[in-house]
Amino acid sequence: MPELKLPKVVTEIRVCKEITAGVRTIFAVVRISTLESDDGNILGSWIMPRAMLIIEPGRQYAIDISGEQMSIETILEVAPSLKEIVEKARGIHRIRVD
């Protein structure tokens, strides 16, 4: 009897392209799941928002999709690719003291 293999779900965390709203820049962090068959064919995918990183002049903060505040460290743990963006934002608004 042939072995029945169920498709597997592969989940990745990705950062979407930034959205600019006035002076704010919003980076959405999404969870992308794909349903892969045994031979590697993708049968379907779905995306779910996870969190948002908001950059305003002088401050950066993160919001969980449930609406609760989220620490920058937590969002960086979830999406390490945001580290560079946060550092850049902090660098822009840093006051240099010579």
Partner 1 sequence: MQFLFLLSAQASIPAAPFPGVSFPPFLFSAALFILFLIILLFILLAIPIHLNLNFSKQGPLMRGSYRIAWLGLTVRKREVLPQHAADSSASISKKDVTVEEGKADEGRKTGDSRDEQKHAIKRSPEPNSLLNAAPAIAHLFIDLLRSIVFQKLSCRLCFGLNDPAETAVMSGYLWSVASALGLFRAKVSIEPFFEGERLEGELTAELKIRLLWIAKAVIDALREKEIRSLIREIAGWD
> Rounded to the nearest whole angstrom, what is the least distance from the CB of residue 14 to partner 1 in the complex?
4
Structural tokens at position 80: 């390490």
User: Contact with partner 1 (CB under 8 A): which of 41, 66, 67, 96?
Assistant: 41
Distance set, CA 83 to CA 6, 15, 18, 34, 60 (Å): 37, 11, 14, 25, 12
Amino acid residing at 96: R
- Binding piece for partner 1, criterion CB under 8 A, among 42-50, 51-59, 64-72, 83-91: 42-50
> Rounded to the nearest whole angstrom, what is the least distance from the CB of residue 94 to partner 1 in the complex?
29
Interacting residues with partner 1 (CB under 8 A) = 12, 14-17, 28, 30, 32, 34, 41-42, 44-47
